[in-house]
Chain A
Amino acid sequence: MADTELVLLGSRRARQGRRSPLRRRIAGARWSYVYVLPMLVLLAAFVVYPIIASLGYTFYRWDGIGDPTEFVGLDNFLKVMKDFIFWKALRNTFLYVVIVVPLQLVIALALALVLNNPRLRLRNLYRTLFFLPVVTSAAVIAVVVQLLFSNFGDVVNDVLMSLGITNTYIDWLGDPTFAMIIIMGVGVWHTLGYNLVYFLAGLQTIPGELYEAAKLDGAGAIASFRYITVPMLRSVGVVILLLSIIGSFQIFDLVQVLTNGGPYFATEVVNTYIYHLAFGGASSTAVQPDVGLASAASFFYGLLLIVFAVVQAVFLRTLVSRRGGRA
């Protein structure tokens, strides 16, 4: 009794508050502003403003020291688009995404299907096991892989030579093709856990009764997968696919530490290309740092990714709705 009275009283006061003049409402909510302000300040200063500011740099030739003064208009964009290394980096990045994403998703889904069985003992242990690389630093993993290959390379070379397959030692991380394959393999290994957990979450939203009903109707494992799992997983699957693609396009740490984009730009991805433009650094490129050029390359890449994301979203939506309509 007393409780309802109090709630009524509270809501009446709230309604009165909403009707009062704006200034009094602002004054009344002053602590709300104080509480939300730190978040807004961090966001404005270190996320929003830098995006706008870096757009301004794209019109200057600037080595990053002092203030930008040499206005070059759209020259930086033209330069980037004429730079064959940019296109090579873009091609390498796409190649990485096109190979790593499907490979990773197929393995993750297969593993998720096995681990989703509630009668499988130790399933949480296995999940943790395969998830573990996710929480480790890509930079340190790259160091470990480098160390591992200083040994592994020799062992495999010995085997290959004794079998007579090759007669020269292969420098695995120094070979353009093998370096890229190694980066892709480590990429699959390092982030597979995300997709495993995502798929497990998706599988758990499918009601168990559906499978039981299918079993009663005489459906086997393959039929259940084809007619229950796949359609029920479609909307979550699209989200997983998009997250996986977005994440893969951002590859940087692994390449920077493992190969620095080398040998001869064979593993240069767009983010290492931009980093090398802004900070010089790479011994193989040894270019003058140019923040304007780096900003232009970054902006251009950002635009490409947005266009790509829109095309993808439209394509996937039509795919989902068409199949969904049929089912």
Chain B
Amino acid sequence: MTAIAGRRRPLTSAATRRGPWVTHLLLLLGGIAWLYPFAWTLGSSLKSTDEFFGRGLNPLPGSPLWSNYAEAWQGASFGAYFLNTVFITVATVVITLLVTATAGYVLARTHFPGKALVLVVVAATVFLPHGYTIIPIFDIMRGLGLLNSLWSIIIVQASGGVVFGTFLFMGYFRAIDRSLEDAARVDGANFHQIFWRIMLPLSGPMLATVGLFTAISAWNSFFIPLVFTLARPELRTLGVGMYAFIGENSTDWTLLCAGSVITLAPIIAIFLVLQRFFINGLAGAVKQ
């Protein structure tokens, strides 16, 4: 036993000395290749049309042409699409957090007749076959008179995420120590004060997790804004705007690259700042 260990030790230490460098080299090369499409887009957004074809796959522009961004922002109305997308994303996140945090709280910490039924119904919707439901949703929005505003997109987008968020908040609130609530009640706090002043401020990590998931899915949403803006170009989001632009002006490649950067950069930045919450949230979903 000791003889084997003795013979092995130099071998493994040699391997660990050489191993990491090979691993790092492969990972780094792989990672660069993996992110190459982003680098190419960023570089090409600063190229002139001649450079775009002349430089081919070289991501670096000869002399950065910043006017592409000004043109994309105003000429191709990506500025308006950007504001639409920001508004939709912020409103969807706020609505989703309010609706799912309150529902998650009462389902986790209070008792009321019919609670079991609510839980069963909510869980069942996950397993229902989600068919082609956009037409009835469209009809409801027409009935509510919301077809001419971004609110139709916001409400539909928020509805899609309520089950997921409610379950996450439920799990989180269930784990919070009950004595905190009891102490507040003894001090005379009412139902609302306990939720808004004590429980909600304690749920920071979950607010970040649900908020980030919601923000990413709202920002990247394509199908819902596509259908709701088919007849209203001024309500387009960035994704839909790019899709329409590529159909109409298929020659302005560099403007499309600038538009891509305007679409991709904000959500990548938000993700990089808050990635801990996103990745932990995903990991938690599989572990259970």
Contact = CB atoms under 8 A, between A and B. Distances in A.
Interface of A: 3, 6-7, 10, 14, 17-18, 22, 25-26, 29, 31-33, 35-36, 38-40, 42-43, 45-51, 53-55, 57, 64, 114, 119-122, 126-133, 135-141, 143-148, 150-152, 154-155, 189, 194, 197-198, 200-202, 204-205, 218, 236, 239-240, 243, 252-253, 256-257, 274-275, 278-279, 291, 294-295, 297-299, 302-303, 305-306
Contact of A35 (B53, B106, B219, B279): B106
A130 B33 CA distance: 10
B209 interface: no
By secondary structure, the A interface counts as helix
Main secondary structure of the interface of B (DSSP, over half): helix
A50 B137 contact: yes
Nearest to B221: A137
Given A46-B137, A51-B131, A126-B27, A239 B275 contact: no
A152 B135 contact: no
Query: Chain B contact residues (Cβ within 8 angstroms of A): what range?
Result: 35 or more
Given A46-B137, A128-B275, A39 B102 contact: yes
Contact of A137 (B30, B192, B219): B219
A291 B135 contact: yes
B222 A139 contact: yes
B286 A132 contact: no
Contacts of A7: 179, 182
Contacts of A127: 279
B63 interface: no
B208 interface: no
Contacts of A278: 132, 134-135
B67 to A, nearest CB: 19
Nearest to A42: B159
A133 B33 CA distance: 12
A54 B140 CA distance: 13
Contacts of B122: 39-40, 43
Nearest to B105: A35
A143 B39 CA distance: 15
Given A26-B112, A131-B279, A51 B128 contact: yes
Given A53-B136, A128-B272, A140 B125 contact: no
Interface of B: 4, 16, 20, 23-24, 27, 30-31, 34-35, 37-38, 40-41, 44, 52-53, 56-57, 98-100, 102-103, 105-107, 110-113, 115, 118, 121-122, 125, 128-137, 139-140, 155-156, 158-160, 162-163, 166, 179, 182, 185-186, 191-192, 195, 216, 219-220, 222-223, 227, 230, 238-240, 242-243, 246, 253, 256-257, 259-260, 263-264, 267-268, 271-272, 275, 278-279, 282-284, 286-287
A26 B113 contact: yes
A35 B287 contact: no
Name, among A43, A152, A295, A299, the residue most crowded by chain B CB atoms within 10 Å (CB to CB): A43
B267 A135 contact: yes
Contact of A33 (B112, B267, B283): B112
Contacts of A48: 125, 128
